[in-house]
Structure formats: structure tokens, C-alpha cells
Structure 1
Amino acid sequence: MATARGHHLIGKVLGSCIIEKLLGYGGSSAVFLAQETTTEEQVAIKVFLPRSYMNAQMQKDFYSRFLREAEAVSKLDHPNILPIHAYGEQDGLPYIIMPYMEGGTLSEYITNHGCLSLDEACWYLEQIASALDYAHQEHGYVHCDVKPANILLDSDGNAMLTDFGIIHMMHPESATGSSERKPPQMLMGTPVYISPEQALGQPLDGRSDIYSLGITLFYLLTGRLPFKGDSTIAVALLQIHEAPPLLGLLRADISPGIESVVQKALAKRPEDRFQTAGEFSAAFAQAVALQDSSKTYQIYPDGKSPLVLPAYAQGLSSNSLRAVLAAKPVVRVRPATQRSFSFPRLIVAIILLLALTVGAAIAGELISSHLASNAPNLHSHVQITLPARALGDDLANTEDWPTGGTFFFSGEQYHIQNNFPHNLALALYANHQYSNFRLVVTTSEIHGSGDGADYYGVAFRGSADQSRYYLFEVTAWAGGQYQFWRYDGDDHWNILAIGTAPSLVTALGKSNTITLVAKGKTFSFLINGTAIGSPVTDSSTLALSTGEVGLSVEEQGTEIVFSHLHISIPA
């Protein structure tokens, strides 16, 4: 085993270097610390070490790859690409001599020091993006294995990209156009970092590296990978089909702008990503600069373990903090049974929307108002101002709507009063399936905290067991906000749209009309007759085609009155 790992080379002279110490081993090569005999400086030397199971053809292929790396890097001259001093072959051992980087790899840095701050992430992302753009645009190279383990740090913390062993050549006319290179015959790269097109064996261009750089950034910010599986094939399928989790679910200082940048870098289709690494880096830096959420403070909800929250959460009401802390299992209420599932998406909704819509002055007023109103009962009681008209046809079918406790009819109106801590109350219109339709419903929030956790809205194309559905929700907080999700079951939420809803009447007891139009995979939303955002198309293979509609209310103590529900089917 010692021989296979290259320990037998310690003390050997290769070229002008004396090998002193094994630094690392991977694939078919090992990296050693060595002493340069002519300059007496420490260098790193990479030596090709064929494994015992390799036949003659495999050794020839890996040997060619080894030399290709040396030839490719010898042409690159960039401050953030690790250069080579020399390369050659001795006693049947090909080798590459490179500078020794005292800081180790960025992967080792995360292991030893934890996740990067947003400013640190900007610093490293800018350097690696610059190196990739140089390789893509000046030389037509695709790295194909961008990951923290291939990013080395010097003693001052500067980053250098290394390991161009599986480099691909792009079409010489474009650094982001389609490659004319034939697809590889085997999967190359590290599965947890490869792009969808790399997993499919398709021609590659620089945008493949941008995807890998996006996964690298995700890891640097969270200390975990977005996609993990039991096998290479399983991970490759996730890269191709699965949407990445939201960063905001994993750390508190992620604004909507930062979330959007990372999600764009990880788009499945190359044309939907940033077209250059520099664009990616600049967009991330701008998103970080637009918010000052890198500051945090700690609370001790259980008296023992600290919980890190964004600074702007300091001074929020108990209901707001309850929403941020909502990491326990949540109950989706149904007429006969209750089914538990965790609901971490509420955390990111509060954090994202606060950073997105409230400027410093408004946030100051909001926090001050919460500090001033630190009373036990945070819910106001007001008179309902809904028009006294007969129920719309679809709410008139009272037997098809759940009643009892959380759900009840009062006069000609349907109430959902969420009485559970950390719960989503969802009432589905039983035994009615809709695909393409137009839905109009009048709503009024009569009890609520107004702290951004009291979302309410419409579910549609839902399964009867509530295991899958779309959910469009609004909240009166901060002048009106909305969010549109697809729930895929097993606690997996995909955000499809999020933003402000200025046409929402925000006063308690006032009525709002929500209109939803579903046509194929495209959905449009209106509030009080005004379009909210642009039409949203769900192009995922998990898009829902038909199902039940329903009404939902979030946060304990929130009560919404629904009336005049009309669902029409286009001719």
C-alpha cells in the first residue's frame, strides 16, 4: 500500500528536485513537497503514478491527460492560475513542478475554519472568476473540475486555480458558444460539482465551469453540497433534474438578491446562467453590497444553544422571532386527519422579504414599532368590511370544505383561523379537480400580527392528500408582498416567484381580491385587478398539471375571511 501511495519516492530526485514529503494523493497522481536544488526553495511536484489495475491502454490515456495538463498550463499566464516551473519524465515517471502553496486548498480552509463570510466569498469568487474568464476567453479552455479542492491558497490568502488535467477545448470563435468537440466517452470531473451538460456527456463551453463555480460558492457559504447521492449516477441525475435548495434555508444573512444570483448560476440550461464568470462574480458582489445582513447576533431560545440571527431581526416581535425560529415539524390541518411535515421555507420568506423590501429608514421604524408594542396580545381586532353579498357558487358547496376548529363558516363567509404554533392551515376544495382555470376570491385579514409571517392565499393543482401543490400567498407586511411556491412533497419546496405587491390593501379588515389564471404551465396573478409580477412558467419536469384548489393561512393567531370564490373553466 505504501508503494501505491507514492511513499517510495520520498528522498528520490526528480529533475532538479528532492522529494521530501507526500502532500496529497488522488486519482492516478500524487503531490509532494520537494526542495529545488538550484534555488533551494520549496516547491510542489506532481507525479503520475499509475494504479495497479490499469492496463496498458488506461496508463497511456492517463499519461496523455497528465501531459495535456502540463502543456495547457504552460500556456496560461494569470495571477490566479497556478503556474508550472517545469515538467518532464524520469525513470518512466512523468512529473510537473509547481509553486508550493502554504495555505493549502480552499476545501481544507473550510474544514478548519468553517464557512466563509459574504465578504470572503466575494474575495475568492472574484479571483477564480477572473482565472476562468481568462482560460475561457483567451485560450478556449474549459476547466471541467472546478471545486474547492482545486483552489489553492498562498500565505496571504490569495487563491489560485489548479488541476487542468481534464481540460476541454472550446470552439475557437467563442468562449461561450457551443463546443464542436465530441462528447466524452466517460464521465469526467467530480460528480458533486459537474454541470448537467457534463453529466449528460454533451459538448461543453465556459458556462459549464460557471455552474461548477456556483456549486463551489454554495459549499463555501454553507459547508454542504446542494446535491448528494448514494452513487455517481444518482448525483448526476440530481444535477440534471433537481432544483438546488435555497441558501436562505441554511444561513440567515442571505438576501433575495444573493439567492437570485446563486440560483441563476445553478440554472440547468446554460443559456439561463451567467454567460461569463465575471458576470457571476460582479452580480454576487453587487448583491452583497446592497444589503448589510452579514452582521448577526445570538439568542438562546432554549437557554443553552446559541442561534445566530440577522441583525435586522433584533427587536422584532415575539411572533416574528417565532417565525424565524420555526424549524419544528408543522401540521397541515385537514378535516379528519393531521399530517406532520417540517416547514423551513417560512424562515427564508421572512428573511428574504425583509432584506428585499425594507430600506434602512423603514426597517428602523418597523423595529421601533415592534419594540414599542411589546404587549402579550399582538393581534388587533377590527370590524369586518366585506360586502354583504351571497356566497359565490364554489364556497356555497359547504359540504366540500372542511369545517370544525380552524375552519368554519360564519354567515356567508368562510373563515380560516390558524390556532396552531408554526402551522400552515390548508383547506382543499374536496372532490373538484381543475387544470386550466380562472379563480377569483375576496379576502380580508381580520386578525394578524403584521410582522411578515402572516401569509395567506390560494393553493391549486393539489393532490387530495396535500403531498403536492402550488401555493400563491400574500402578506400585508412592508406594503404588500407575495410569493409563489411549488411543494413537491418530503419537505421539498421550490420557490417560483417572489416580490412586492403594492396593489394589496394592507389595513386589517379591508378586503382584497385575488385573481389567479392557470393555463398549462404558465400562471398569472392579480391583486385588486392589478397584475403582480410577470406571468410565471414552471418548466420543471415536476410541474403539476391538475388537482384541487384550496385556501391557506400561516402563523398562529392569523384569521382570514374568504368570500365570493368563483372558479371558471375556459371554453
Structure 2
Amino acid sequence: MTASADSLPDLRDRLGERYEILRQLGRGGMGAVYLARERRLDRPVAIKVLPPDLATQPELRERFLRETRTAASFSHPNIVPVYGVEEQDGLLAFAMGYVEGESLGARVARSGPLGVKETVRLLQDVAWALAYAHGRGVVHRDIKPDNILLDRATGRALVTDFGISRSITAPGAAAAPGLTRVGEVVGTPEFMSPEQASGDTVDGRSDLYSLGLVAWFAVTGQLAISGDTTQKILVRQLTEAVPSVALHRPDLPAPLAEAIDRLVRKEPGDRFASAEALVEALESAQLSAPEVALPVRLLAQDLGQLGLVAVFLLIIITMWQGGTAQRAPGNIDIALPGLFLLAVLWGRLAMTVGAARRVVEAGFRPAEILAGFGRVLSEREEERSRLRALPTVVARRRRTVIVFGSMIAMGVAMIWVVLQARVPSGPNHFTVPRPFVVMLLSAVIMIGISMIGLMRSPFRPGIGERLFRVVWMGLPGRLFLRLAARGVTTGGGAPLTPPPVRPVRVTPAAPPAALPRAEPDRLARLEARVESLERWREGGGG
């Protein structure tokens, strides 16, 4: 097999009968991934092609085929499905489901750390996937941000790349020839459990440790364990406790922070016993708040817009009528623009009432709608808390304040210059040269833009949200929803808001008084295992 065996033209020649290869999605140490269309079923797939040097090694080839077949037997909504293996003339590739979205690593790099709601869903989705795999005797062994894909349409997390997974065999049972054996160190050091780093026997709790490090990364944007070399990283995985995530994200709910801290305990017995136990702990702590139904979310958006429109139109009407009524009292032509704007406001209000009635007809009671509004506001506050914890966002906002403040000062100075350039042209009348008129307009625009920029802070609610809290979350909002619901026949059905449940704290296992030092024999074996891992990474595992 030549070095170009995984190139786009060569791949089209080899697999063109079954797949239409469209473009390359990415390339890493374990090969390249291409977007393709399966001709027979007319569906998009992702094809991963192993590097030539790995595909031609009989032992690695056989192990990969065995473990890929294991992954192909999985059927779970949070695991990327494997559709088939392509093996021909030195080419080794497999087709899997195409997830239109991005990896968790790319998501954090693009938008920064996740919020509480996103993190809880991530943990639950990945935990369910791991519970499924562990229940079938398979440990993933390479849970990391790049192996977790986020579907763009639904936000669902899917686990991929079971290429180095290992079947869990009973003590004393012989492993199948070619499968990963105890003592082999493979994986990603930054997300590797201590028992995996030392080459000891691993079980599902090893994946939970890796998931804890992934969650730590997701909420902070930083690696919990890092180092200049592979050896330093592995030594830290074996000997150093992971810092509490609450030190870096104090805004996290205590149960979530404690759950993440418990996942990254060094001793497997101190972690959650299983992935199901993690999901149950998150659910019992009521961290995953009920989703806000789309009709309620749209109604909240509609009411927010109505409030701003009403305030804006009333200000215009007041200013217009106040300025013109004194000059021409009783002139109906002066009142027509105000009447027109009032008619627009009344029509907008009638449309919003109709939208509210449709939400009630769908089965939502006024109290449930208000509860949904409250969750929408809570989501916004949660997002602001997340942004406050990001140094880059804080620094950017500080620069923005300085720029806008300077623009306001400059605008005021420009207006002062224009005032000095005025030339009297009559009683209480002045004229200014045309360049100064342009300067005056520029100054007014600069001041207006700067004031909006200063008022619109990512760290505090805007005017529209404050108005929403006062009006629609208060007595006017309750009266509005009751009037909108009058005479409406609901669709019935089960209650849409579950009864309140007292949150249950996730109590982590008590940490040891002092982190036990790694056994001398484990450290003595570490150097050899580091060399093994580095060879594996250089050969395609990185």
C-alpha cells in the first residue's frame, strides 16, 4: 500500500462503487475522515481510513477489525453507529454515521466553556452511552473531547471511535488473540485514568474518570492534567489529585461540581460505581431542569418584543403630541400620526393575544406558561454567569467600555467645537459652516452608538429583559394570561410541569486523608509504559 492510499483520488478509485466520496472532514494520528454518500441507501456517512503504516501491521489490523466489529454491534442513540468495514489490498477503513455538528473540543474552542444545562446534558448523554457499552463488556478507553460529537440540530452528544476499546474479560479468562491486553498503555494521556496509565486492569470506572476530566475541560476550557511531556502527564495522573472544579467555576451548582470531583477520584472505588449511578445522581439533584416547550419560548420572545414596541411607540406619541399640540391645538391632522401609531400598537397586542390563546389551546395552563418564562430568564442569567467566569470575555468587555467611553468623550468634544464655530444669524438663530454640520452629525452618531454599547452589557440584563420581569412576570402578565385563557378549551393531557422535588445533594465519597503515593513498582514500570505509549502515538494513536 502506497503513502497515497488514503488520499482523496485513490479512495474514490477504491471505494467509488459503494460510496461517493465528497470531501475530507479531518485528519489525525489514527487516519483521515471523509464525508461520503452511500450510493445504495443514499445516506451520508463518514469514512475513516487508517494510516498505511497501521493498516499493514497484521496484529494492529486484526485488533482493529475485532474491536470495530464489536462497535458495529452497538445500537444506541448516543453512540455513532458503525455501518461496515472496507478491507481490500492494504486499505482498511470503516463507514460510520455522519454527525452534522462538531466535536466537544471544537465547540469549547469556538464558544468557550459550557453552561450548566449543556454540561448536565453532556454528562447524561455520554454516561448513557458508556452504560450501554459497559453492559456489553466493552470499555472505551479513549473518552476525550475530540471523541464526543455534538449534533447541531438537537444538541445530542454522541460517542465515537471505539478503535482502542477493550473487551472486559473475567479474571483468569484468556483474551482473544490480537485483542488489547492488560499491560498495554494506549489512549490520550491528558484524559487517561491512573489505572490505565499504569497498565493495570481497567473497567468501566476508568471511562468515568476520563469523562470527569472531559467535564472538567468542558466547564473550564482548560485541561485538568497537563505537562510538557507524556511522562510528566502520566506521573501527574498517577500521583496528583485533580483540583476541585469549583475553584475555576464557582458559579456551578454544588451537586454538579461534586459529581465532577467524584468522577476524577484517583481510586476507582471512590468514583461512581457505574455510569447509571452518575445519571441517577444528576437526575436526583434536579440539575437537568425541564425543557421549555417551543410554544412557550416563542410566546416569551413575542411578549418581550411587544413590551419594547409599546414603550417605543408611546414615547414617540408623547413627544409628537406634546410638541405639536402647543403649536396647533385642535388640528386633527396633527393627531392622525398618533392615532396611526396607537392602531399599530393595538394590532400588535391583538396578535400577541392570539398567540397566547394558541399556547393555552395546546394544553399549557397560565401557571405553567409563567414557570416556562421563569426558566427562560434563568437560562439567560446562567449564560451571564458563564460569561463572567471567562477572563477573555471580561477583558474584551473592559476594552469595549474603554473604546465606547473614549468615543463619548470625543463626541462631546466635537459638539463643543461645533458650538464654538456658530455664527449668529438672528435672534436665537445660528449658522455653522457645512464641515461643522458633518462633525455634529458624526458626534451625535458616535455618542448614540457608544451609549447603546455601554448599556448592552453581556454581564447584566438589558432593558427589554428588565421590562419583561416587571410586566410579564408580574401582575400585568398574570392578568394578561388569564384573559387570554378565558373561554379557551385546552387539549387536555398530562400536566406539563412536574411536581416540585427537593433537590438531593450529590455526596461524593469521602476523600482519603492524604493521596496515597504510587507504589514503587508502578513507578518503576512507568518509563517503559511511557515509551510504549509514545510509540503508539507516533504510530497513529495521537
Tell me: CA distance 1:246–1:179, structure 2 relative to 1, closer, same or farther (3 Å): farther
The aligned runs of 1:508-519 (5 Å cut-off) are none
Aligned to 1:539: 514
Tell me: CA distance 1:213–1:249, structure 2 relative to 1, closer, same or farther (3 Å): same
2:87 is the counterpart of 1:89: yes
Question: Residue by residue, what CA displacement relative to the aligned partner does 1:60-107 show, whole Å, maximum 9, x if unpaired?
Answer: 232123212321112211111111222231232122111211102122
| Cα distance in 2, alignment partners of residues 100 and 3 from structure 1 | 24
Tell me: CA distance 1:143–1:542, structure 2 relative to 1, closer, same or farther (3 Å): closer
Question: Residue by residue, what CA displacement relative to the aligned partner does 1:476-509 show, whole Å, maximum 9, x if unpaired?
Answer: xxxxxxxxxxxxxxxxxxxxxxx9xxxxxxxxxx
Q: How far apart are residue 212 of structure 1 and its match?
A: 0.5
Aligned to 2:270: 272
Between Structure 1 and Structure 2, the one with more helix by share is 2
| Cα distance in 2, alignment partners of residues 248 and 283 from structure 1 | 18
1:215 corresponds to which letter in structure 2? L
Contact 1:80 1:159 in 2 (8 A): yes
Q: How far apart are residue 217 of structure 1 and its match?
A: 0.7
Aligned to 1:189: 187
Q: How far apart are residue 536 of structure 1 and its match?
A: 8.2
Tell me: CA distance 1:272–1:304, structure 2 relative to 1, closer, same or farther (3 Å): closer
Q: CA RMSD in A?
A: 3.5
| Cα distance in 2, alignment partners of residues 49 and 304 from structure 1 | 43
| TM-score (ref. length: structure 2) | 0.51
Q: How far apart are residue 13 of structure 1 and its match?
A: 4.2
Q: How far apart are residue 183 of structure 1 and its match?
A: 5.1
Contact 1:48 1:63 in 2 (8 A): no
Tell me: CA distance 1:180–1:129, structure 2 relative to 1, closer, same or farther (3 Å): farther
The aligned runs of 1:45-64 (5 Å cut-off) are 45-51=47-53, 59-64=57-62
Higher relative contact order structure (alpha carbons within 8 Å, sequence separation ≥ 6): 2
Query: Which of 262, 279, 282 matches 1:281?
Result: 279
| Cα distance in 1, alignment partners of residues 173 and 261 from structure 2 | 24
Question: Residue by residue, what CA displacement relative to the aligned partner does 1:380-424 show, whole Å, maximum 9, x if unpaired?
Answer: xxxxxxxxxxxxxxxxxxxxxxxxxxxxxxxxxxxxxxxxxxxxx
| Cα distance in 1, alignment partners of residues 82 and 181 from structure 2 | 29
2:129 is the counterpart of 1:154: no
| Cα distance in 2, alignment partners of residues 535 and 32 from structure 1 | 47
Aligned to 2:26: 24
Contact 1:84 1:97 in 2 (8 A): yes
Q: How far apart are residue 288 of structure 1 and its match?
A: 6.3
Q: How far apart are residue 296 of structure 1 and its match?
A: 4.3
1:23 corresponds to which letter in structure 2? L
Aligned to 1:219: 217
Contact 1:179 1:205 in 2 (8 A): no
Question: Residue by residue, what CA displacement relative to the aligned partner does 1:194-236 show, whole Å, maximum 9, x if unpaired?
Answer: 1000000001110000000101111111111100011111111
Question: Residue by residue, what CA displacement relative to the aligned partner does 1:46-70 show, whole Å, maximum 9, x if unpaired?
Answer: 112223xx696xx223212321232
Q: How far apart are residue 257 of structure 1 and its match?
A: 2.8
Deviates more, 1:182-191 or 1:94-103: 182-191
Tell me: CA distance 1:268–1:36, structure 2 relative to 1, closer, same or farther (3 Å): same
| TM-score (ref. length: structure 1) | 0.49
1:277 corresponds to which letter in structure 2? A
Query: Which of 244, 247, 263 matches 1:246?
Result: 244
| Cα distance in 1, alignment partners of residues 218 and 388 from structure 2 | 25
2:78 is the counterpart of 1:80: yes
Q: How far apart are residue 113 of structure 1 and its match?
A: 1.9
| Cα distance in 2, alignment partners of residues 542 and 90 from structure 1 | 49
Tell me: CA distance 1:290–1:170, structure 2 relative to 1, closer, same or farther (3 Å): closer
| Cα distance in 2, alignment partners of residues 109 and 35 from structure 1 | 25
Q: Which runs of 5+ in 1 are unaligned?
A: 308-498, 500-533, 544-571
Aligned to 1:204: 202
Tell me: CA distance 1:247–1:178, structure 2 relative to 1, closer, same or farther (3 Å): farther
| Cα distance in 1, alignment partners of residues 228 and 43 from structure 2 | 43
Contact 2:55 2:90 in 1 (8 A): no
| Cα distance in 2, alignment partners of residues 37 and 536 from structure 1 | 55
Percent of paired sites with the same residue:
35
Larger radius of gyration, structure 1 or 2? Answer: 2
Aligned to 2:382: 294
Question: Residue by residue, what CA displacement relative to the aligned partner does 1:508-537 show, whole Å, maximum 9, x if unpaired?
Answer: xxxxxxxxxxxxxxxxxxxxxxxxxx9985
Indicate the SS of the match to 1:204. coil
Tell me: CA distance 1:92–1:535, structure 2 relative to 1, closer, same or farther (3 Å): closer
Q: Which runs of 5+ in 2 are unaligned?
A: 290-377, 399-506, 519-542
Aligned to 2:39: 37
The aligned runs of 1:51-130 (5 Å cut-off) are 51=53, 59-130=57-128
Tell me: CA distance 1:281–1:294, structure 2 relative to 1, closer, same or farther (3 Å): farther
Between Structure 1 and Structure 2, the one with more strand by share is 1
Q: How far apart are residue 290 of structure 1 and its match?
A: 9.8
Indicate the SS of the match to 2:222. coil
Question: Where does structure 1 differ by over 4 angstroms across 4 or more consecutive aligned residues?
Answer: 177-183, 285-288, 290-293, 295-301, 303-307, 534-537
2:252 corresponds to which letter in structure 1? I
The aligned runs of 1:356-375 (5 Å cut-off) are none
